[in-house]
Each structure stands twice: as structure tokens, then as C-alpha cells.
Structure 1
Amino acid sequence: MIHFCLAHTAYHFSRRLPKRHRLRLQFAIFALGIAAFIFQLYILLRPRSSHYCGLPLLYNLVGSIIFTFFTIGLALLLVMLEPVPWELKTTFFIFGGASFAKGVCTIVFTALATQCAKTTPELYYLSVTLSVSSLVSTAFFSVLGLFWLVNMVFPGLILNKETKTGICYEPVSECGCLWHI
């Protein structure tokens, strides 16, 4: 879920900036995305990464590279467009579901591939890093989703922007970006 989290963070960070500074953010997103892509490609092309590993960590890395491309593209589109069209929002949430599934696969493969730390150490430790970051971002969105769900069932309990009340009004009043896309 880390890929969804990165694009989501870029979107909300861009909304906190004045419009004249968003071009700089677009360049930063592009540069960081390309750096992540090059790093993953470097790990993929390492001779030791092609050694035998009982689980498909190499294929998982290829999937991560593909998701990195989508993350860069979606983040740039979300930063550029205002307002964001509903088609892009729908695509973004589908990407979030796919990113969640990818994160679960990464966590499962990494947990079962402890023997790969000896044969393909770079690949294994990159997979551990992606697993931990996916787990942290999934936990964040799970808590956020729980708050959103409670607010849908009991309107205004968690957040009511009109009356400026609710359990989460104070934290969200400073950064409304925590609440929605």
C-alpha cells in the first residue's frame, strides 16, 4: 500500500502549497520517482538477485517497479489537476486496492523467504523494506478508513466541518488533507 500512500501524500501536500510552487513539487516528485525506479532497477539487475530463491521475490520486485511507474504518473496527475475529475479519483482508488493487494503479497513473500537472505541479500532486504513500509501505510489507512466509516454511520460524530465539532475536528482542522482526497 506504500505506492498508494506516496501518491496520496503528494496530492495532499500539493494542496497545502500555493499554486505557484506546485511546479517545483512536480519536479521533486518526478526526480524522487525516477530515483526509486533506478534503485529498484539496480537491485533487479544485480548478479546476485538472479540466484535461486524459493519464493518469487524477483517477480515481486518487477511488480513493484510497475507500481512505481503508476505512482509517479498518478502523483503528477493529482498534483497538476484541480479539481480532480471523478474518473481520476476512481482510478486512484482502484490503484489503492491493487496497491493493497501488492503490499499483502510482498509481506507474505518476504515473511516466507527468510532463507533468501543468504542467497539474494539485496533483493531480500529491499523486500523487507517494502513490506514494512506497506504494513505501516496499511495501518495508517485502516485507522483513517475506520474513522471515515464511523463518521458515515454516525454523521458528525468524528468530524462535522459545518459546526466545527467532532472527535477529530481539532487535528483535522489544521490539516484537512488527512480526511479525504
Structure 2
Amino acid sequence: MFLYMLIYLAYHSSRQIPRSKRLKFQIVNAVVTALVLVPQLYVIRSPKSSRYCSQPLLNNLSASIALSFITAGFSVIFTLIDPVPQSLWAACHMFGLLTCGQGLCTAILTLTAASCAETTPELYYTSLFLTVASIFSTGFFLVRGGLWLSRKPSVMDQCRNNER
């Protein structure tokens, strides 16, 4: 869910800036995207990453890179379009579910690949970082969802308002 959180933060941060002044934010958005993509691309190109590892961490990193490119596209589109169409929001939320599943796979693969820390250290520690980022972002959305549910009026309150 780390990648979904990047889209979320890009969208909500860009809405705090007037439309005519978003060029600087687009540059910041590109830098953040590069900070996410460049280390992953470096690790996948590293000769040590092709060594034997008991878990398919290299395949998982490839999936993470593909999802990172999709994240870059969503974050650029969401900061440029105002208002964002519902169909694009639906696609983004489906992407969020996909990144949640990918984060869960990353966590499981990383936790069961302790021996890979010796054979493929860059790959293992990148996977470990992605696991921690995924856990952090999942917690962020759980807290955010809990706050949203606590502020949402209940069905009974809405029925009482209709009776008045």
C-alpha cells in the first residue's frame, strides 16, 4: 500500500496549491518518484541480485517496479486533472487493492527469506524496506479509515433528521 499512499499524498498535497502554481509541485512529485524508482532499478541491475535466493524476491521486485511506474502515472494525472473523474478514482482504488496484495506478498516473502540476506543483501534489504513501508502505509490507512468512520453520521442519526 506504500505506492497507493504516494498517490494519495500527491493528490491531497496538490489540492493545497492553486492550479496555476503547481509546476513546482510537479517537480517535487518527479523527484519523489525518482527516489522510489532509482533504488529499485539499481538493485535489479546489480549482479549480486541474480544470485540464488530461496524466495522469489527478484520477481517480487520486478512487480514492485512495474507498480511504481503505474504509481508515477497516477500521481501525475491526479495532480493535473481537476476534478478527477469517478472512473479514474475507481481504477486508483483497484490499484490500491493490488498494491495491498503486493505488499502482503512482499512481507511474507521477506520474512521467510532470512537466508537471502547473506547471498543477495541488496535485494533482501530493498525487500525489507518495501515491507516496512507497506506496513507503515497500511497502518496509515487503517487509522485514516477509523477516523473517517468515527466522523461519518450513523444511519440512525440520518433517520432522525428525516423525521423532523
* Identity rate, percent: 39
Partner of 2:121: 121
Identify the structure with the greater helix proportion.
Answer: 2
Tell me the equivalent position of 1:171: none
- 1:39-70 CA distance string (max 9 Å, x none): 21110011110000000100010011001101
Q: Secondary structure of the residue that 2:15 maps to in structure 1?
A: helix
1:61-76 equivalent positions in 2, closer than 5 A: 61-76=61-76
Map of 1:90-169 to 2, 5 A cutoff? 90-152=90-152, 154=154
1:107-142 per-position Cα deviation (integer Å, ceiling 9, x unaligned) = 111111111000000000011110001000001101
The answer to whether residue 27 in structure 2 is matched with residue 27 in structure 1 is: yes
Partner residue of 1:43?
A: 43
After superposition, the C-alpha distances for 1:82-127 in whole angstroms (9 at most, x for unaligned) are 1110011101100110010011011111111111000000000011
Match of 2:131, as an amino acid?
S
Give the match for residue 52 of structure 1. Answer: 52
Corresponding residue number in structure 2 for 1:167: none
The normalised TM-score by structure 2 is: 0.89
1:90 is paired with a residue whose SS is helix
Cα shift readout 1:9-64 (whole Å, capped 9, x = no counterpart): 00000011122221221122123313432221110011110000000100010011
How big is the alpha-carbon RMSD for the aligned residues of Structure 1 and Structure 2?
Answer: 1.8
